[in-house]
Every structure is written in C-alpha cells, then in structure tokens.
Structure 1
C-alpha cells in the first residue's frame, strides 16, 4: 500500500507538462503517485489513503463509472480534490466530466459543451477574497497573467478566490493604448464535500494556458522530480500551487 501524500493524474507525462507540478511537489517535500494522461486508472490506487487527489488533463474516459463513484466516496470521507484546467479537464475537448460522480462534488458546475476559452491577449488574475492559498502572494503589486481557461459556473456555497479578467485594447488618436475590461471568469474556486476540501483551478499549471504565470516571482526556482523534466519557474508561481495543495491536505 502506498503511503504517498498525493495522487497526481494527467498533464501528459512527467517528461512533458507533468514535470511542472511534479517539480513543485518534490521541491516542497510532498510525495506523490503519478499516472500519465494516456494510462487508464488503476483501481488499486483506491486502496491508498491519499491526503489529496489532483486531476489535470486526465480524461474521464480513463475511469470506469464505478471507479469515479469510489473516488468521489473517498473524497467525501476526507481526501482533498482539485481539478486543474486543460483540454482534457472539466468538459474540455475530451475531459467530459459533466455527467460523472466527480461533477457532483467539485465546487463548480461543468458545462455539457466545449468549455475551453483560448485568448490571444493575456487574462489578468484578480484576487477576489483572502484565502490561505493566496493571502501572502503579491497579486496587487505583481499581477500575473494567463492565456486561457475552462469556463465554469461556481456552485452555491463555493468561494471564488481568483478571477481571470479579459481586457480589450486599442490605440487612440494620440497613439496611446486604451484598455477596457470586457468580462471576468472564475479562476480559483474552493468548496467542500463531506469532510473534505475541494477546489477548481480553471486554467493550467503548465504551458500553454499558464503562460507567463510560470515566471511569476522575484527569484527563480530550479526543481526536478524523479523521472521528470527539470523546471525553472518563478518563486510565487511555485508558492501558489504549493499553498493550494497544502490547503487541500488541511496543512494550512
């Protein structure tokens, strides 16, 4: 039986996008088991007592309906759960989680249609409320940006911690730029299910949607998980995702 802290599912594999979150977890002293996006879910993993489960670009077709129901039951009993955005998350292109047992326990309602939003101009991240995952990060002084997300609807009694704000820009007659806010979208939403904490981060932890978020910080962090690509990222980016995981595990 595995005694790891976290079960991490998706983000292609550890030699690609999966290396980012894996690197952050290793750098932060968090142990994890991992399954790549192209591998079917191993039901034996349900025997383990993880503190949290991360699902990121891991399609629902990798699970059986029974496995999803069992995973949802474990979450209600104390295991934290976060879904991170991407083409194989939420509904996405191939996520298809809208009609699953996990859709019932996540803090957001998932669209039955393609919910991806790719933006050619940056989306600015706005902190909407204080939360242990974000309270010590300088969102007001160094506003990070992302390049896309999955559009979801927060459920009643959930908390919207961050939003992504879309702007339109154009030149004025004086050749200066004029920016106007168009719309905002839920980005980090938290909630609970049974005795567990749940969350949704609707953008990505890795390129391409994460974009410049990877470089958010004043110093650079170098990290590498076993079997993964080495990463070099900003310290605030690393702190942000570390804090989310620690909150899910009830360590902050």
Structure 2
C-alpha cells in the first residue's frame, strides 16, 4: 500500500448575481479530484487529500517530515504562492521554510512526486502558478515555461503512447480525448511516455534517490472530461504511475 498525499484540487467561487437594480452574492467551496482519489483508493492506495487553503497549516515543511507521512506526493492545480507565502510570511513578514524546497528535498531523498496539470500548475493561466521559479523545478522531469502555458483543446484531442514503459503497459489503443493541457519541455534525461496534440502529456525521470512525473493535463474535469475519467484505463494509468513513483518494480 502506497501512502499518497494529494495537495490542491479545491477552490472557492464567489459569485455576484445582478437582477436589475439589485444584486446579491453567494459563495461555494468545491473539493475536486474525487475521481482521482477514488481510483487510487480502489487500487488499495492510502490517500490523504489536503485542499489548497489548508496547505500552509497541514503540510510539513521539511523533507524528513514529508517522508514520514507520504511515499508519493501529488501536486495538482495549486500554485507555488500557496507554498511560498504562508500567512506568517505574507501577513506578518516572518521567515518561514520554503515548502517548495521541502518538496524538492523529498524527491531527492527517495520520495516520488507527480505534478498534474491545470490552470494553477506548471506556469498556468497568466503565468500565475509560477512553479518554474521555485526550487522544486529542478526535480521536475519537464521544463516550465515563463508565460501562460495553457493549450486549450476545445474540440478535443486523443493522447497517444510514445514510449514503452511499465507505467503505460497495457494502455494500448485509443485514449479518450482531453480538452487541454499545460505546455512544457522535456528534460534531456527524462522520458516522454505519452503526448497529446503534439505536446508532452506524461513524462518521467529520476531525481536524486527519488522519482518524479508530470501529467500535463487535468486528473479531473475540466480538461479531463467524463469520457476520460470514466475510461477503463484511467485507474490503471494513475495506479501504475503512483506505484512506479514509489519505487515499485512493475510487472
């Protein structure tokens, strides 16, 4: 059983409703990634989900503490500011550990890390995710662009396998369409396992004593539509990715 720590995949929406002269507001919190969590738990992984707004209070700030609670960490659709600007630093100008460096050290000392795509990972919308400007960038198997890196595929595009690898074994044939991804570059030492619309989709590499992977599209809606998350290969893909990141030799 692999201990998986999922960071991100949550959001608040604050809406203004204008009705003629009058208006009112509503607020809603959504905990996303339910399909991803369910797939991993169905494969007998132990998954702890920490939503974006709890990262500064619940996520350990040293590699050693991270290794004590997780074998694999998944960073999904949450920007670097959430890790680098805790309330004590942003609000009170206090020095605090850089959690993006802790994530890098976690991988260097034997942990596994998956960065999944979205509007707030890699570079992200308006380049606000800014992961390429963090210490963790050194541990990623891909280079992060220094601009808005979204590739919107509203008409849909089917991924395809590029390289034979234990992670993608058994995923032959047509993959369901995706609706977008983050544009990245593949590092020289890394291996591109799958692509979509001519862009890297799944890339893996070693870093120090650990392993890292990048899945540049969403693991859940909106870029991953129902046809993808309901695909019979969805659970197999992420189960095998997590197991490989944890150092398991896959059959």
**Interval of TM-score (by shorter of Structure 1 and Structure 2):** 0.7 to 0.9
Q: Report the CA distance shift for 1:155/1:15 in structure 2 as closer, same or farther (over 3 A).
A: same
1:15 is displaced (CA, Å) by 5.5
1:40 is displaced (CA, Å) by 3.3
Unaligned runs of 5+ residues in structure 2 are: 12-28, 85-96
The equivalent of 2:236 in structure 1 is 239
Check whether the contact 2:124–2:130 (CA below 8 A) recurs between aligned residues. Answer: yes
The equivalent of 2:213 in structure 1 is 199
CA deviation vs aligned residue, 1:72-110 (integer Å, no higher than 9, x gap): 112100000110000011010232111001111101000
Structure number with the bigger relative contact order (C-alpha 8 A, sep ≥ 6) is 1
Note the 1:156-175 alignment, pairs <5 A.
Answer: 156-165=188-197
The equivalent of 1:96 in structure 2 is 130
Unaligned runs of 5+ residues in structure 1 are: 166-183, 217-234
1:98 is paired with a residue whose SS is helix
The equivalent of 1:23 in structure 2 is 38
Check whether the contact 1:4–1:33 (CA below 8 A) recurs between aligned residues. Answer: no
1:239 is displaced (CA, Å) by 1.1
Task: Choose from 223, 235, 240 the match for 1:209.
Answer: 223
1:132 is paired with a residue whose SS is coil
1:38 is paired with a residue whose SS is helix
Check whether the contact 1:157–1:191 (CA below 8 A) recurs between aligned residues. Answer: yes
Check whether the contact 1:79–1:249 (CA below 8 A) recurs between aligned residues. Answer: yes
The equivalent of 2:101 in structure 1 is 69
1:4 is displaced (CA, Å) by 7.1
